[in-house]
Amino acid sequence: SSGIRWTSPLLRRASPIYVGMGCGGSVTPDKMVTPDQAAEIAMRLQKQAEQILELERAQMQLVKQVSVLQRTVHSNNGCLRVGPTGGSNGIAIADGPAMVALADKEPQEKHEKGSLTVVPALQNYLWGKPWDASYIARLCETSSDIKLNHGLNYAEMWMGTHPSGPSLVRLEGLDSVGHSRAGLKETIARRPQFWLGNDHQRGDLPFMLKVLSMSQATPIQVHPDKARAQLLHHAHPEQYKDGNHKYELCLPLGEYEGLIGFRPQEEVSKFIADVRELNLLIGDNLDCDLKTLFGLVMRSNEDAVRRSLAMLVRRLDRSKPEELIPEERLIIRLQKDFAGDVGIFSVYFLNYVHVKDGMRRRFVFCPPNEPHCHISGDCVACTTLCDNAVPACFTKQAKDMEQFLELLSYRAEGLEGFVGAGEAMSKRVVKYGVPIDDFIVFEVEGGNTGTGSPDPPMDLPRASLCMCPRGCFSASLSANGPVEEIRMGQCFFLRAGSSITVLRSEPGSRLFIATY
């Protein structure tokens, strides 16, 4: 043939087309076309084919939805009313005196297996990483439910029911026709016994699962215990969002740095004696207790703090790098991000935690009334259902130094009780137990190639959240349930009584399961 033979794989029912030089798409097989003309025609045909496929998909979706409505109407004695009902914009079924909105009604299909895909909430704090460097942004790449703003920092990913960042869940439609989204808390409230089992009277999850990604230090802060949280919430509900205590378990995903709890008194006293710039702020009070010493520094005149820090950093900069201790190298870095902030001197009072990449199964646990901050790294965290914090340093937001100092426990026990290693439950399962009833975390490590027998099932008598921050797992999320492919970034909510069986996993994969 003297023309160009073009067959689009999308136009499966079309015959081959001979394209010539005619105007308006007319066919003249006896003429040749130039490559540019052929490309233009091909692009036009491709666009038309995509439009046809889009119309076909929409038509198929409509046919299925009509079929669902027909079955629904038939099962409800033919009663159907369209329009807003009780604040819903969906379609409602008239069933006697009660009106039930379909948009608010839980589907009766796929989630009966006891697991739902969770759509997490994202927090864009200033200390987070830009979208192109944030670990959280990488985790979100697998989800079509989350749209990232490239102009924001991504600091935390929340999976839970707290009103400061409530998660959604995906509800697949009847016969797997499409899907909708609903609040996790509302989904539990509609069927508490199904989701929470014997604990249904609680009506909620007592914990949140999170991922943190830090480009610089978070504020130095303290979380109140329950008694003081209730007082603060009652007095200032706009600032303290709830009356709950806050415990936090941090599980590093690689290299991690942080400050937590007070050093032993003798360590603090030695720093005060050796660091003359710190000594200037203490004056003649060297023999005071830890609470007094820390308060003197934190309440110091701002100009005096700036001068002392400038002197300190100039002196450290003149030293050779190998001559500096880790705390001094940290102070130089913090001065670049928070020049003149009194919180930099807290390095001499608080325990410095440095988990190096490759140090697996490590945890950092922070109970209420302990000063702390995350400095760098990415980590999974589990907390009680609370969003209360009293910041004092490293933030441009409102600070409350007096409330911060008042809440502190001033336990000077070093790192004991704050840092440790998880307990191996089996070859690939690690337990991170904490001395509270609000949560417990398990980690499943990858490496099951699937050539042998599957890992033993993990029974979860209470409702759980599981999240994969790395790698991929093939697992069943319920006894005799279907096999799910759990990919990096995915999170699931599991009903009470679930049982997880890992059939295969890539080496290096990590799956965290939070329950209580």
Q: What is the CATH number of domain 424-515?
A: 2.60.120.10
Residue 457 CB partners (closer than 8 Å, separation 6+) = 479, 499, 500, 501
**pLDDT of 211 above 50:** yes
* Partner residues linked to 423 by β-bridges: 431
Q: From CA 415, how far away is CA 69, in angstroms rounded?
A: 61
Pick the CATH number of 205-421 from 1.10.150.20, 3.40.190.10, 1.10.441.10, 3.90.930.12: 1.10.441.10
Q: Is the pLDDT of residue 63 over 80?
A: no
Q: Cβ neighbours of residue 494 under 8 Å, at least 6 residues apart?
A: 114, 115, 460, 463, 464, 465, 466, 477, 478, 500
Instruction: Measure the CA–CA gap between 463 and 449, rounded to whole angstroms.
Output: 28
Q: What is the mean pLDDT of residues 400-429?
A: 95
Q: What share of the chain in percent tops pLDDT 70?
A: 79
Q: Give me 348's structure tokens.
A: 């001499």
SS3 of 167-206: CEEEEECHHHCCEEEEEHHHHHHHCHHHHHHHHHHHCCCC
Distance from C-alpha of 420 to C-alpha of 500, rounded to nearest angstrom: 26
For residue 356, what are its two tokens?
């190096």
pLDDT reported for residue 455? 77
Closest CA to 246 of 196, 205, 202, 206: 206
Over the stretch 428-469, which tens digit does the pLDDT of each residue have? 999 999 999 999 999 999 998 777 777 789 999 999 999 999
What's the CA gap between 481 and 64, in Å, rounded? 26
DSSP string computed for 249-283: EEEEEEEEEEEEEEPPHHHHHHHHHH-HHHHHHHT
Cβ within 8 Å of residue 114, ≥6 positions away: 477, 478, 481, 494, 495, 497, 498
Q: How many CB atoms lie within 10 A of CB 417?
A: 14
Tokens read off for 85: 């009902």
Distance CA 205, CA 195 (A): 10
| Domain regions of the chain by residue span | 205-421, 424-515
pLDDT at 50: 66
- Position of tokens 């807290």? 346
- CA 290, CA 280: separation in Å to the nearest integer? 17
- String of DSSP letters for 124-149: --TTBEETTT-HHHHHHTT-TT----
- Residue 503 and residue 116: Cα distance in Å, rounded? 20
Sequence-distant (≥ 6) Cβ neighbours of residue 190 within 8 angstroms: 106
pLDDT score, position 58: 61
Q: What stretches of 28-112 adopt beta strand conformation (E)? A: 81-82, 91-95, 98-101
What separation in angstroms does the CA of 504 have from each of 70, 254, 448, 486? 42, 23, 5, 10
Checking if the pLDDT of 239 tops 80, the result is yes
Q: pLDDT-based confidence at 54, cuts 50/70/90?
A: low
Task: Supply the pLDDT for residue 6.
Answer: 37
266 vs 62 pLDDT, higher one: 266
Contact 514, 207 (CB under 8 A): yes
Better-scored residue on pLDDT, 30 or 299 = 299
Cα separation of the two ends of the chain: 73
22-31, 186-195, 392-401, 420-429: lowest mean pLDDT where?
Answer: 22-31
| Confidence at residue 60, expressed as pLDDT on a 0 to 100 scale | 54
Is pLDDT at 307 greater than 90 in this prediction? yes
pLDDT at 49: 64
Q: What are 5-32's pLDDT values in tens digits?
A: 333 333 333 333 333 333 344 334 444 5
Q: How confident is the model at residue 143 (pLDDT cuts 50, 70, 90)?
A: confident
Cβ burial 333-371 (10 Å sphere, 16+ → b, else e): ebbeebeebbbbbbbbbbbbbebeeeeebbbbbbbbbbb
With cut-offs at 50, 70 and 90, classify the pLDDT of residue 59: low
CB 465 within 8 A of CB 118: yes
Q: What is the pLDDT of residues 104-142, one digit of tens each?
A: 444 444 446 799 999 999 999 999 999 999 999 999 987
pLDDT tens for 73-106 read 443 444 443 333 333 333 333 333 333 333 344 4
pTM of the model: 0.77
Rounded to whole angstroms, the Cα distance separating 316 from 276 reads 12
Mean residue pLDDT across the chain: 84
